[in-house]
Structure 1
Amino acid sequence: MKIFVTGHKGYIGAHLVDLLKQEGAQVVGCDVGLFEGCNWEPVVTADRDLVKDVRAIEAADLDGCDAVMHLAAISNDPMGDLNAQLTFDVNRDASIRLARVAKEAGVPRFLFAGSCSVYGQGEKLDLDEGDPLNPLTAYAQSKIETEQAVSKMADASFTPIFLRNATAYGHSPMLRIDLVVNNLLGSALSYGEIRIHSDGSPWRPLIHCRDIARAFIALSKAPKDVVHNKAINVGANSENYQVRDVGDQVQRLVPSATVAYTGQVGSDPRNYRVNFDLLYSLLPDFKLQYNLVSGMDELHGRMVEHGFSKKDFEGDQFVRLRTLKHRMDRLG
């Protein structure tokens, strides 16, 4: 099995390469290297590394591949807002182009890293794949438009699969703290204060980053007729939490920390609780390895072991937006 992974040096990609190699797959990784040096632990290397902009991938790069697992993106709402046009160029246009190139190259399966953020301000709770989409950001809109365009390419020889991933958290060799769970835990360790920027009421579906990587592999191996051209919420019904629940878990781990509602974002309109029944009906043997408690226990242990501090929280290494801004500034 030969797998082409974009964004393989990222937060989820580091886990995906590791797991694919454990499966015995040959991994071709493609990453432009924007976040080179942001790892805090050793990263498992791909069999072949392409240092290449995802917008420049050609059919020859995909020669002999059994699947494309497409993670590369401007990776969250604040980064998308930094430059909305760049977000659409990379997340939508390059993704659609890559799917077309993969199809022309004879790659039979294309797995796309989407997001539950496409539901935005949910009209109801427990949203499933058939419910209306209500994107509130360029990032979410780019994911929807990619799904719509790539879905039209599906045919007997080309199977796209769209993973609408819950909000990632947890330990990775390429740690990020610009994600709600990781951010609140980092804040507690850095300041002794759990800084919640909303009123704590919005719902978020949460999933450990390694479980997202596991879902990619499970869906890549599933029978074609089970997953062909489907959008699938990736997470678990039990792993929907309000932000204040995350704050409670942080306080369990750092009892001396106090909770502070900063009001920085006012009433956060991004509020969605998601239903994941489809995933488990398609993959009845698939189960998450982590829940919020075990995932946070692991992350807390690693952060303490590394001596995570205010310097780390305020620095560039673990915040993708800061790293991207500084590297864009240097490029002029």
Structure 2
Amino acid sequence: MKAFVTGHQGYIGSHLVDVLKQAGHSVVGCDIGLFEGCGWEPLVKPDRHLNKDVRQIEPADLEGCDAVMHLAAISNDPMGDLNAQITFDINRDASIRLAKIAKQAGVPRYLFAGSCSVYGQGEKLDLDEGDPLNPLTAYAKSKIDTEVAVSELADDAFTPVFLRNSTAYGHSPMLRIDLVVNNLLGSALAYGEIRIQSDGSPWRPLIHCRDIARAFLAMAEAPREAVHNKAINVGANSENYQVRDVGNQVQRLVPSAKITYTGEVGADPRNYRVNFDLLYKLLPDFRLQYNLASGMEELHRKMVEHGFGKKDFEGDQFVRLRTLKHRFQLLG
């Protein structure tokens, strides 16, 4: 398989290139380098690299590709809210345009990195793909709009698949600490304090970033009829946690750190526990390699090896929002 991966130098994309190449596939990577200099460890290189804005991809760029794996995006709620219009331009409009170009170029499969955040303020627990969507942010809305528009392109020759990914965490060569698990562990190492900004009650489905990459590979290799034009929650039922559970896991790894509920964000309306039965029904051989405990143990070990501390926690390198604020002129 020849895979075209957008955002291949990102937090998940750096794993995806490695996962694809280890499975014997060739990779064309497309990345504008927006977070250049944010790397933590060396990246596995694709077979071919395009330094190109996803809004400028043309059919010729996709020649001979068997799948587009579209990760590139303004990548979470706070960054999306920084400039909602740019979020919609890139996360929605460019994603729809790319799907149309992929179809035009004869690429048979289009895998889109969606998000479980589309459930937003869940009306009930254990939300499945058929439950009402309740997006609370520009980021989540952009994901839904893309699903709706791209779904209309599906036909016998073009298979879109929408991966509604759980909240990512864990070690990556392109580390991020602006994610709840990584942030709480980083806070413990930087300050000796596990700073939970809510009351700790909201539910989140969690998944290691490498397991998201593995899910992309599984969806690309799956029989067409199993995944054709489906939105699929990506995670595991056992990997739903309340934020306070994450804090307790951090304290297990850093016993000297104390848990503090700062309450600075008030009552977090984003509260969703998600059901993943469909994923395992469609892909019965797929399993996550990590659970929260093993993923956090690995990340803790890596942080200690790298000497992660207050300077890293307060700097720009591992916080995408801070870097993005400095580089927004590249996106306009």
User: What's the TM-score bracket when you normalise by the shorter of the two chains?
Assistant: over 0.9
Q: How does 1:51-200 map to 2 (within 5 A)?
A: 51-200=51-200
Where does the alignment leave 5 or more consecutive residues of structure 1 unmatched?
Answer: none
Aligned-partner Cα distance in 2 for 1:189–1:131: 39
Aligned to 2:236: 236
Structure 1 residue ranges (4+ consecutive) displaced by more than 4 angstroms after TM superposition: 329-332
SS at structure 2 position matched to 1:38? coil
- 1:195-217: CA deviation from partner (whole Å, max 9, x where unpaired): 00000000000000000000000
Aligned-partner Cα distance in 2 for 1:30–1:329: 19
SS at structure 1 position matched to 2:164? strand
1:293 aligns with 2:293: yes
Aligned-partner Cα distance in 1 for 2:46–2:316: 25
Aligned to 2:12: 12
Aligned-partner Cα distance in 2 for 1:156–1:315: 49
Deviation at 1:329, TM superposition (A): 6.1
Aligned to 2:44: 44
Aligned-partner Cα distance in 1 for 2:39–2:54: 21
Aligned to 2:23: 23
Aligned to 1:251: 251
Deviation at 1:328, TM superposition (A): 2.5
Please say if residues 86 and 331 of structure 2, whose CA atoms lie closer than 8 Å, have aligned partners that are also in contact: no
Aligned to 1:320: 320
SS at structure 2 position matched to 1:110? strand
Aligned-partner Cα distance in 2 for 1:19–1:256: 36
Aligned-partner Cα distance in 2 for 1:99–1:314: 38
2:265 maps to a residue whose letter is V
Aligned-partner Cα distance in 2 for 1:158–1:319: 36
SS at structure 2 position matched to 1:321? helix
Aligned-partner Cα distance in 2 for 1:166–1:61: 30
Please say if residues 62 and 105 of structure 2, whose CA atoms lie closer than 8 Å, have aligned partners that are also in contact: yes
- 1:109-167: CA deviation from partner (whole Å, max 9, x where unpaired): 00000000000000000000000000000000000000000000000000000000000
2:292 maps to a residue whose letter is L
SS at structure 2 position matched to 1:49? strand
Distance 1:151 1:320, change over 3 A: same
Deviation at 1:330, TM superposition (A): 8.6
Q: How does 1:260-299 map to 2 (within 5 A)?
A: 260-299=260-299
Deviation at 1:23, TM superposition (A): 1.1
2:233 maps to a residue whose letter is N
SS at structure 2 position matched to 1:17? helix
Where does the alignment leave 5 or more consecutive residues of structure 2 unmatched?
Answer: none
| Number of aligned residue pairs | 332
1:288 maps to a residue whose letter is L
SS at structure 1 position matched to 2:157? coil
- 1:181-236: CA deviation from partner (whole Å, max 9, x where unpaired): 00000000000000000000000000000000000000100000110000000000
Deviation at 1:331, TM superposition (A): 8.8
SS at structure 1 position matched to 2:11? coil
- 1:257-282: CA deviation from partner (whole Å, max 9, x where unpaired): 01111111100000000000000000
SS at structure 2 position matched to 1:266? coil
1:157 maps to a residue whose letter is A
TM superposition score normalised by structure 2: 0.99
2:271 maps to a residue whose letter is N
2:303 maps to a residue whose letter is M
2:264 maps to a residue whose letter is Q
Aligned-partner Cα distance in 2 for 1:26–1:258: 46
Please say if residues 166 and 233 of structure 2, whose CA atoms lie closer than 8 Å, have aligned partners that are also in contact: yes
Pairwise CA RMSD: 1.0
